[in-house]
Amino acid sequence: METNTLEIVLKDNFIKTDWQYSLPGTGYETVSILSANGYIYVASNGYVFQLDPHFGTLINKNDLTGMEQHEIRMVISEKKDQLIIGTYGNVIALDANNISTTLWKNNLKGEDTGVVSLVASSQYIYSATGGYVNTMSITDGSIISKNSLPGMGNHEVRLALSEDEKYLIAGINGNVVCLDASAISKDPIWKNGLSGQGEEIVNVLVIKDRVYIGTNGFINSINLLNGDIIETNNLPGMGNHEVRLALSQDCTELFGGINGNIVSMDVNNVNTLQWTTPLPEANGNIVNMITANDGFIYAGSAGRVSQIDPNNGEIITTNNLPGLGVNEVRLSMGPNQTNLYIGSNGYAVGTSELGAFSIKRNKWMEEMSTAIESMQLKQMLIPGTHDSASYGITPLSSFSPEKDLPDWLKKIRDWAGSIPYLSIGAIASLWSKAQGYNIYTQLMGGIRYLDLRLSNRNGDIWLSHSLYSVPIQDVLNDVKRFIASNPKEIIILDFNHLYEFDDSLNKKMATLLSDAFGSKMTNSSQGCNITVGQLWEADQQLLVFYKDDSTCDNYPFLWKEENLCSPYYGATTIDELITNLNNELENFDKDTFFYLHGQLTPDTNMIKDGVIPFNGKPGSLQSLAEETNPKFMDWLKGHNNKKLNIIASDWIFTMTDFVPYCILINKERSSD
């Protein structure tokens, strides 16, 4: 593998699939999906499922006995204790924490056996089907008030509620109707027949004093109080198709999805399109959209999900959802805005790291400056690499003077000679090289903690991991080059092993650091509560931890290792590793920086297995990491514990979601 390329760390733009769940018994139909209460609710073709959001595993299921197999729509109650579903002309309340329990059911007799639209208010549930609109009790589902929308026909009804809950807007059969939400049986406050726009499905969206209408190739802006059309856009070239709507998070932009395209307009000027974007291979298909705090639009259509830049409509990235066909795609955003959940073609899909891929990894701290400047560095989740400078190890590398060599390496000379196709150096290098990229590339890829081991090599200082890797000046030059062009990125250098060092080498190392970085290093007197903003104000970018206490006493810019809790656990299996991680996380109670690592430690048996070809066993730290890292990443995502501070593993860039996940957790923590 090349060590001087940025290819892997700069490939930022994709929507990563974390998990995929096939909904048993549902066939390949439309899938509604909703993230709430720490669960994912998924509904399709007569079934409702409750899934774990991290892994997509099934928690509970409801077969909706007697409802046959029809489309299902869902809302969560205001108190989040009920999942309300509409299907086959029925409204059903399920226990939101255990959906296998049905709380109440109401068959909307005489209305329809079709699609049921739902809106939840602080007091009621509003349902609509077959030309009727109902106000329902959240307690038992009884109908409090009803409106048959005379003259509108027995068609599908779409609903929206004003922010103050005074007005209920119904779209039906080419018409828009405004009802008094407190007494919907009264005559409508106003009606608008949308002259010249046909008699098709009408999507409605309310914000402040305006109602936005999407229907049959048209978008309208209507006055909420009197129903007058303010502006109309007939979306030239889009055809007469259903138009679905979404608003930007700041409610300044309106987006329409139609016929495989997304259009953008200012909420105060829907006459003018700001941009139009055709989605990949989506012509003629329904487009569902959702917007997120990261500013992007996420659009689903024809079996694909795309991330769209709201400023110009550029498609940032697309997930083709392999194997899921080209059907309608419905979307729901996770509560921390880092996860997008997808329903399509009888499947539920979980994705992660939204927004992280829009942040340049080489300067992610700078791009998040407003959010993180008041945070203490020890409150952040800092991505690191284990044995960071081992990238230079080759089969020709010499053994370093490490006294704590692993048993397998001590024994390697006893049995490696009997293996004709491998040399001692080849075996040792495979199990000593823990990273594939040089320090500059790691930093460009977002790494901000470096685990460094120093060895004496005939009076010179080298980095090592059982074997010599590279001279210290290579590492210092890489760090110096990086911070010169990225002045707001803060890096932790942890020189935690010193092999055959004496006072003269310690002094030499301190001098090299001082010459390379000078005032860019912050003094240990600042203490572990130092904030990102304090470092920026002082124009400092480096915290340097050093193993030798007496050297630290002589050089204020060196921090003693007592300020960085770094427990050792030599796990040889993933189960043992997870147990160690859980125990260390639970028991950590110090007011220091805290470092946990997620790699396994090879033992003699693992090495012996690894040199036997074609047995499916890992044959190097890289192949071991490729097997272990996904499970470590699953653990990390399942333990968003604020104690987590510095986290690292071997061959870190085999985890394409590692750095983005850390970035997004910092976004989340900054808002706490």
Rounded CA-CA distance 564/567 in Å is 9
Categorize the per-residue pLDDT at 16 as very low, low, confident or very high, splitting at 50, 70 and 90: confident
pLDDT tops 60 at residue 209 = yes
pLDDT tens digits, residue range 179-207? Answer: 999 999 999 999 999 999 999 999 999 99
Whether residue 8 is predicted with pLDDT greater than 60 in this model: the reply is no
Q: How far is CA 583 from CA 526, 596, 644, in A?
A: 30, 11, 13
Higher pLDDT, 258 or 641: 258
Average pLDDT, the chain: 91
Alpha-carbon span 353 to 338, nearest angstrom: 5
Any residues with CB less than 8 A from the CB of 517 and at least 6 apart, and which?
476, 479, 480, 483, 542, 544
Q: What is the pLDDT of residue 335?
A: 74
pLDDT at 105: 96
- Looking at per-residue pLDDT, the higher value among 629 and 54 belongs to 629
Say what the pLDDT of residue 668 is: 81
Does the pLDDT value for residue 437 go beyond 60?
yes
**Of 645, 641, 649, residue with least CA distance to 543:** 645
Per residue in 220-254, pLDDT (tens digit) is 999 999 999 999 999 999 999 999 999 998 899 99
Computed on alpha carbons and rounded to an integer, the radius of gyration of the chain in Å comes to: 30
Give the mean pLDDT of 145-151.
95
- Please write the tens of the pLDDT for every residue from 482-491: 999 999 999 9
Higher-pLDDT residue of 555 and 418 is 555
Res. 292 pLDDT band, cuts 50 70 90: confident
- Asked if 224 and 187 count as a contact pair (C-beta separation under 8 A), the reply is no
- Averaged pLDDT, 338-365: 83
Query: Residue 77 pLDDT > 50, yes or no?
Result: yes
pLDDT > 90? residue 260: yes
Helix (H, G, I), strand (E, B) or coil at 594: strand
Inter-axis angle of helices 621-637 and 658-670, nearest 10: 20
DSSP helix/strand/coil, 345: coil
pTM passes above 0.85: no
Task: Return the pLDDT at 391.
Answer: 96
Confidence of residue 417 (pLDDT cuts 50, 70, 90): very low
Residue pLDDT, tens place only, 319-330: 899 889 999 999
User: Which residues are CB-neighbours of 56 under 8 A, at least 6 positions away?
Assistant: 18, 19, 20, 21, 40, 348, 349, 350
| pLDDT tens figures, 614-647 | 667 878 899 999 999 999 998 998 777 889 999 9
What does the pLDDT read at residue 612?
64
State the pLDDT confidence band at 6, using cuts at 50, 70 and 90.
very low
Which are the contacts of 606, defined by CB distance < 8 A and separation ≥ 6? Answer: 408, 572, 617, 618, 624
Domain boundaries, the chain: 361-670
Most confident among 396-410, 539-553, 635-649, 654-668 (mean pLDDT) = 539-553
pLDDT band at 611 (very low <50, low <70, confident <90, very high): low
| Complete DSSP assignment for 103-166 | EEEEE-TTT-SS--EEEE-SSEEEEEETTEEEEEETTT--EEEEE--TTS-S--EEEEE-TTS-
Pick the CATH number of 361-670 from 3.20.20.190, 3.40.640.10, 1.10.3720.10, 3.60.20.10: 3.20.20.190
Rounded Cα gap, residues 635 and 582, in angstroms:
9
Task: Give the pLDDT confidence of 95-123 residue by residue, as tens digits.
Answer: 999 999 999 999 997 777 789 999 999 99
pLDDT class for 656, splitting at 50, 70, 90?
confident
| pLDDT at residue 649 greater than cutoff 70 | yes
Answer with the residue of higher pLDDT: 154 or 1.
Answer: 154
Give the pLDDT score at 544. Answer: 98
At 353-396, the pLDDT tens digits run 666 556 788 999 998 998 899 999 999 999 999 999 999 999 88
- Can you give the pLDDT at residue 5? 38
